[in-house]
Structure 1
Amino acid sequence: MPKTSARLLVLLSLLQTRRDWSGTALAERLDVSLRTVRRDVDRLRELGYPIAAVKGPDGGYRLGAGTDLPPLLFDDEQAVALTIALQVAATTPGNGFAEPAARALNTVRQVLPARLRNRVDALRITAVERPITPPRTPVDGDVLLAISGAVRAHETLRFDYGTEATDKPPRRAEPHSVITWDGRWYLVAFDLDRDDWRTFRAERIILRTPNGPRFTPRPLPGGDVTTFVTSRFRGSAGPSGNWPCRGTVILDLPAATVALYTRDGIVEELGPDRCTLTLGSWSWPSLAATIGRFDADIEVVGPPELTRAFAHLARRFTKAAARPPA
């Protein structure tokens, strides 16, 4: 049996890992009796930890939210994962929490044991995004917290959006999720005024208080937020999340080379220097132009819309090439 002080730390760590623990489960994990578990819980309560009793056949326990943040216990893997997450948050532009994340990272590092501090110091992670012109407007952290709170409480949001005049009635939306996409923060919500699902850029939201009434959440098209958002940003009218335009070509290039420059396409090898590429895009000309960036001969497998898109671009490029330089 571990010493009392060590056992208390293990018990506190277990109570932090999930909402409810039965007395029997805690006794088995600590290899002690139920009576010892009860005594240890009483000791933690004396130290200020709000541990509530849960009714059940053998009783149970739950670590509640106290007025003060109690010491948190992490195993080695959790501590390293936490520092990685904080590094990403501290170096990601426009998230509204970069400065607090940097301070939290420094605080966590100071209390790490030497063996973990050396591992963490070897990790140098910086979130690098492609340059954006004009630069993206940072998101107010308080706005993100307020939106997320409304999502959790199922409260209707009232807000002005972008450059809308503040003397107009506010937008009304039932918030579903707060997500990131290509370095921006978005609110996914059901727009009550337009009777449809929408994505709102978080930095353009100007909240009005108080929030509106509570609501019963609606089913999201596509079944989950990832499918819905992917579908919307790809311009797909359906809920599947697939590109509205999808075609297949044969390229006179090695499959390994094509795969290096294809994010969500399917590449199949036909020979040492020949492969098929199946790819999607938001329009047929866009798909043809994307495929055309490969410096190789192209043979269209299908569909006919892709062939016509190549012909359309060929006429446009020929016309551009025939014009004298400005």
Structure 2
Amino acid sequence: MSDTTSRTLDLLSLLQSHRHWACSELAERLGVTDRTVRRDIDRLRELGYQIDAARGAAGGYRLGAGTGMPPLLLTDDEGVAIVIGLRSQATAALRGSEHTTLSALAKLEQVLPPALRRRIEALQTHATLPPAHGPVVDADLLAQLALSCRDSERVRFSYTDAKGAESVRSTEPHMLVPLGRRWYLLAWDRDRAGWRTFRIDRISTLLQTRVLFPARALSSDDAVALVAAAVRWRDSSYRLTITLRMPLAEAQAQLGWWARDAVAQGPEHTVWPLVGDTIGSLGSALSWIPTEVEYTLAASPEVIDAIRLQSRRLAAALPAPSDDPAR
């Protein structure tokens, strides 16, 4: 293979691995000049690859979507990973993918070298996946989120929590994590200024903003640990929803960081959801509410009964009121 052909294939591999490359970055990776990169870009365009170019300080190249799909350049490891993923997808909860999965798998397997076939068979026979169950996830949504994680692109989406409450979240996505046969998105919530875990099957109306952000330093192991901890917390914790008769801005000013998840319910009310590892910790939060503010509570019967008991015990522990107004 000539140096030019090899370099052009290397350039194609780089373009397929990332959404946007500055010309200088490509030149540095390939060990050539910017002018050579531009010539190789022209060669790829002649072969049918649509490559978009942008000028200016943020300019560069990105592989665009064409009218057809040109050949992909895959390493051996990538080929093995794709085939195993397609074989396993029959047990995965991805909506609308049954026929396309079999078609793609047939096309890939007929061109695999024998050595790669043996690697795949060994992995399939000596590794198992847990049985499929859980909610169905839209494959296109999963793919779009994966691209946003890879490219550090801000996204907005509608999210429905476990109680059915809907909200719009502005996030900086970091990683997709499969856990317990469910898919989760770990992202930095820009409105709440912290890491949040979102179940993918509860995400809808995804908007890719095309706004990039500097990725936060968080290893894959730490990301998985954060998701696992969030899931354990939700499964073993208690919940209490307090509706305050005060505007959201006022509630946030009074309660500070503790009201980070509060949302407005009209101009005069604020819904303040609380989660705790004990019912007692939820009851103690009621003391933070200013005495002049009216509020109502909503929770499971177990939590409500425990708060009632806690309030009766508190009332019983107080001394009898004095008749002397001076005291």
TM-score, normalised via structure 1 length: 0.47
TM-score, normalised via structure 2 length: 0.47
- Structure showing greater relative contact order (alpha-carbon pairs closer than 8 Å, 6 or more residues apart): 2
Give the structure with the higher percent helix: 2
